[in-house]
Structure 1
Amino acid sequence: MQPIRLFHTPARLQVTLIMALVISSTAFAAGEKVAAGISDPSGNRPNVIVILADDLGYADVGFHDVVADGVNTPHLDRLAASGVVFRNAYASAPVCSNSRLALSTGRYQHRWGAYYYGQGGLPSNEHTIAEMMRDGGYRTMKIGKTHLNNGPKSDPMKHGFDHYLGFKHHSWDFNLISEKDVAAYEKKQKGSIAKARMAPIGPLTRDNGELESYENTTTTEVFGRESLHFISAEGDKPFYLQLEFNAVHTPLTRGPEQLRKKFGIPARPFDRDAAVWEYPYWDPVAQPDYGQWYDQTCHLGIPDPYGRKIYLAHLELMDTMIGDLLDALEAQGVRENTFIFFSSDNGGSDQSYANNGPINAYKYCLMDGGIKVPMIVSWPSAFANKHIDATVTHRDLFPTLSEITGMTPQKQLDGKSLLPLIHGDVDQLHASEPMFWDSGPRQNNWVARLGDWKLVYREVGKTYQSYDLDENGLVKPTLSDVNIRSGLQLYDLANDSGETKNLSLEFPERVAKMKQLYTDWRAQMADPISGKKAK
């Protein structure tokens, strides 16, 4: 029997209790500043926290110019006010696993064959940010989601982390995170948990395999509290924390209990002993086809009238956990010398009721809705508050941390340090450098980007099912179509950020040049390979 952890204390009170035990041994002197781009000369290197949301919509943060109705992210807005907001930041892929590979390594994941889901994995010879940080004397921890398509280094404990708490999957149930939930399903129908492979149920994993159950809480709260424990631990070493929430990924079947009434979400309790588990819960007896249930709840097969409200509630809960983290850093006296990176793994998903504002389309495709993401970098003692319009990518994080800490990566990186851009030494980081996205032959969708020009190729068109809201903020039962073109498409993003006007026929020479750039780049990349075959 695994230990059951009960959490009934309000999150803010728990933060207060934790902070009361903290010893502020690494505080910066009042008014002291870190020299641009380097650690403090006394050797007081910055703490580093990397925070990733999951499938977050571009318009679902309060610090952007376009903010969707109902969005409430005061703590992310507070983080943005203390640092640099990148308005044209991009993930390396339109799906989570491949995007996370690029962020963790600072390299095109295509170099080892990771183009789409299930491909590439993390090979043994790739080097991660966490490995660099640990080798440089940081204490390290991974909390939350890890989804890297298998491979010999798929386990977070092989990435350079001293400790880990979370799950290794593309998704996890927010609420059913106890061994008792597993037992309830197995009691109803033996083998049912094995069927629930797309949205797993049950305990989280700590370090090298210990399972931990939790009651009366959510994964978001568990990950937030675990982060507080980690940053509050005593020691002479600076810390590196990689916090990857599964909010706001599907399955969004139930609102967080503490925010349910605020958002007008009906109670949907899970009774382990009920004769029948009613929709939106999966009942392996009443609905033997798990795939059907998953399509209904996670692929808009049955639009949930409360879907957008549930999404917003989970977003607000994640924002609260980030606020608790900021509070704890301030109470310890280390906020000034803590570098915080925040972003989303890829573009917002229509299937989770995200809102990408004026950005075209959603997750899974290479229109900007699938790859353009919110992004903040905050280091109060070194960075002034500003908004930057230059194009940047997740791959730029690794070289930025390399420059800040003075540690050398083991591999040649594809990203560039953000520091010259942040400090105003340059206006652009990648203006003269072509950048590429490629989802491989399974999607036949690739992009070449040169400055503000974006060349898109898609072999087969795609239709998204997008939701609409009524006057009460409820999802309408009839969905709208968002159609994505096939063929070669050229867009001038400086004048057409919504990718509405295909200019390929007007600029054939530019199309030919950018297509050749892609062909040359692709020839340097590996062919797609299953993550299970990675070495």
Structure 2
Amino acid sequence: MIKVLFGILSLASATTITASDRPNVIVIVADDLGYADVGFHDVVAEDIHTPNLDRLANSGVVFRNAYASSPICSNSRLAMTTGRYQQRWGAYYYGQGGMPTTEFSIAEMMKEAGYRTKKVGKTHLNNGPKQDPMKHGFDSWIGFTHHSWEFNLISDKDVDAYEKKQAGSIEKARMIGIGPLTRNSEGTESFENTTTTEVFGAESIEFIEQERDEPFYLQLEFNAVHTPLTSAPNEELRRKYGIPARPFDRDAEVWEYPHWDPVANPDYKKWYSDIAHLAITDPYGRKIYLAHLDLMDSVIGEILDTLDKKGIRENTIVFFSSDNGGSDQSYANNGDINAYKYCLMDGGIKVPMVLSWPEGFGETSIEALVTHRDLYATLSEITGIAPKNPLDGKSLLPLIKGDVKEIHAGEKMFWDSGPKRVNWVARDGDWKLVYNGEPKTYHRYELGADGLVKPELIEIEVEQGMQLYNLKDDPNETKDLASMNPERVDLMKKMYTEWRSQMADPISGRKAK
């Protein structure tokens, strides 16, 4: 039974809430976080300790069946920020769809509702005319517009060191951003002796501490715990987790692995494959992942402490999730859920998700199916600002209040990675139909007694073809029931075909209008 506590505000009449009474809102997104890598889940990896995320979960609603709209970050973030299937404008996989002028972000809605707004961290939306966060309704932002960034190399001096080593090397290093962060799309800002995680936390706290009459909307998107996870974020965490020192000496004659040296190791693609795609197994990979998760958790704790000190925690909504499923390439742990990032098995799309609002509702756990797309609709109901486009998500509030047991009851849901991956899913209640156009191999690591990653990885095979699962009876997708249920397979294939006919064809994000 769901226990919900409603205080001063009545969510049923949320549209009548005045601007001064509206809650502050913080949306926090982790990057490639494993499903079993948070302490508030029922199944938790043995090496996980996330006291501040657990503290957040203990003050709100934990959604046990939450899903991203895509198994990769850019497309998932497009859906989250618009509340719509990103396939509606041709965003199926990396580089596709972009952020067109016809779509509207949560920040634009919050700005219309009278909020001051700030974006901190990662923006990866596949280009498009509205990729720039300053076009999303944010008053200010700091971060990067790329899929990945070096956690520690965020200084002009790091760029200079590479260019000194070999002119043009920064242009070659396209897969991982190196150097200063972007401020308000007007210029860059250089940082020394810190990490992106710490910078993003400090910027968030500074924004929260501003004394203003209007409520605030903060969108904080970490690049933790995305690759490149090559070293501990700082000395304290290096010692805590027993990670070898792997310093980046700008003046060293040769930069040793795992750092890329454009002279000693000119094949950048091979180096990137080695450090980010498990071509070379890092025995300390899991420990490095845990150290970065530890730092992110601490920063989130500092943000919660700031809200408490200002006396505004009770009327501040904090949303937390990951952009997609955990990545085997970063040594994430998805528990028993099948596969990882990039794949439409649940390991690629099932995510941790928490919504906390102490003044609005109390602590509970909900098993109903929800998605990232539901965040937009939820905030629309709270602010009273109607969306500019029809939403595919639905407000979570009736579910939290206990008015309904399911907000997506009877609704068919779909995932589609397009022709680049030939991988799609149709979901009808507990039934999940998966089509894989080609087989795919993932790798699961194992830890030794010393906590180090064993040299040999276990291959996880995702088979080609049509597969049918009942997630109520088989949540880890171990029993393919397609051959036993041909009529259901045909019916769900038709559901997918009909849905796909309503979506746009894939389009390069650079061609979005």
TM-score past 0.5 threshold: yes
Contact 1:97 1:170 in 2 (8 A): yes
Q: Answer whether contact 1:431 1:450 (CA < 8 A) is retained.
A: no
1:191 aligns with 2:165: no
Deviation at 1:32, TM superposition (A): 5.7
The verdict on how the C-alpha distance between 1:40 and 1:412 changes in structure 2, with shifts beyond 3 A counting, is closer
* 2-structure distance, mates of 1:510, 1:426: 27
Residue aligned with 2:455, SS: coil
Shift of 1:478: 1.3
Match of 2:155 in 1: 178
Q: Distance in 2 between matches of 1:304 and 1:77?
A: 29
CA deviation digits over 1:159-196, x for unaligned, max 9?
11000000000000000000000000000000000011
Matches of residues 296-335 of structure 1 in structure 2 within 5 Å? 296-335=274-313
- Selected match of 2:111 from 134, 142, 155: 134
SS of the aligned residue for 1:391 comes to strand
* Contact 2:17 2:383 survives alignment (8 Å): no
Looking at structure 1, the residues matched to 8 and 231 of structure 2 have their Cα atoms a distance apart, in angstroms, of 45
Tell me which amino acid in the other structure corresponds to 1:123: P
Root-mean-square deviation over aligned CA pairs? 1.0
- Distance in 1 (alpha carbons) for counterparts of 2:103 and 2:377: 15
Are positions 1:165 and 2:142 aligned together? Answer: yes
Q: Distance in 2 between matches of 1:133 and 1:82?
A: 23
1:71 is displaced (CA, Å) by 0.8
CA distance in 2, matches of 1:526, 1:410: 19
Q: Note the 1:283-362 alignment, pairs <5 A.
A: 283-362=261-340
- Could you say which residue in structure 1 is the equivalent of 2:201? 224
Contact in 2 for aligned 1:339/1:379 (Cα 8 Å): yes
Match of 1:100 in 2: 77
The one of 76, 79, 86 aligned to 1:109: 86
Q: Which residue of 2 aligns with 1:26?
A: none
Counterpart CA distance in 2 for 1:48 and 1:528 is 33
Secondary structure of 1:86's partner? strand
- Post-superposition offset of 1:471: 0.8
Alignment gaps of 5+ in structure 2 = 1-5
TM-score of the superposed pair, with normalisation by structure 2: 0.97
Kept in 2, the 8 Å contact 1:34–1:40? The answer is: no
* Paired residue secondary structure (1:200): coil
* Per-residue deviation, 1:136: 1.3
SS at match of 1:165: strand
**1:441 corresponds to which of 419, 422, 433:** 419
Q: 1:356-386: CA deviations, max 9, x gaps? A: 0010000001000000000000000011111
Which of 34, 37, 55 aligns to 2:9? It is 34
- For 1:36, the aligned partner's letter is L
Q: What per-residue deviation string (whole Å, max 9, x for no partner) do you get for residues 318-371 of structure 1? A: 000000000000110110000111000000000000000010000001000000
Residue 220 (structure 2) aligns with: 243
Matched, 1:88 2:65: yes
> Size of the alignment, in residue pairs?
505
SS of 1:449 mapped into structure 2: strand
What residue identity is the alignment partner of 2:421?
Q
Q: Which amino acid aligns with 2:367?
A: D
| Percentage of pairs with the same residue | 70
1:251 Cα offset (Å): 0.1
Contact 1:39–1:46 (Cα < 8 Å) also in 2 = no
Gapped runs of 5+ residues in structure 1?
1-30
Match of 1:513? 491
Name the CA distance, whole Å, in 2 between partners of 1:88 and 1:466.
23
The Cα offsets for residues 280-337 of structure 1, whole Å up to 9 and x where unpaired, read as 0000000001001100000011111100000001001000000000000011011000
> Structure 1: how far apart are the matches of 2:126 and 2:342?
16
Q: Residues of 1 paired with 2:194 and 2:90: CA distance?
A: 38
Cα displacement (A) at 1:40: 7.9
Match 1:522 to one of 497, 500, 505 = 500
Which amino acid in structure 2 is aligned with residue 428 of structure 1?
E
- Helix, strand or coil: the match of 1:340? strand
Letter of the structure 2 residue corresponding to residue 389 of structure 1:
E
Q: Distance in 2 between matches of 1:259 and 1:289?
A: 31
Deviations 1:196-222 (A, max 9, x none): 110111000000222101111100000
**3-state SS, counterpart of residue 199 of structure 1:** coil
- The alignment's TM-score, normalised by the length of structure 1, stands at 0.93
Specify the alignment match of 1:533 in structure 2: 511
Would the aligned equivalents of 2:68 and 2:350 in 1 still touch at CA under 8 Å?
yes
Q: Which one of the candidate residues 33, 38, 41 is aligned to 1:61?
A: 38
Distance in 2 separating the partners of 1:36 and 1:433: 24
Moved more, 464-473 or 339-348: 464-473
- Tell me the CA shift for residue 72 of structure 1: 1.1
C-alpha deviation, 1:263, in angstroms: 0.5
3-state SS in 1 of match to 2:337: coil
Matched letter for residue 34 of structure 1: L
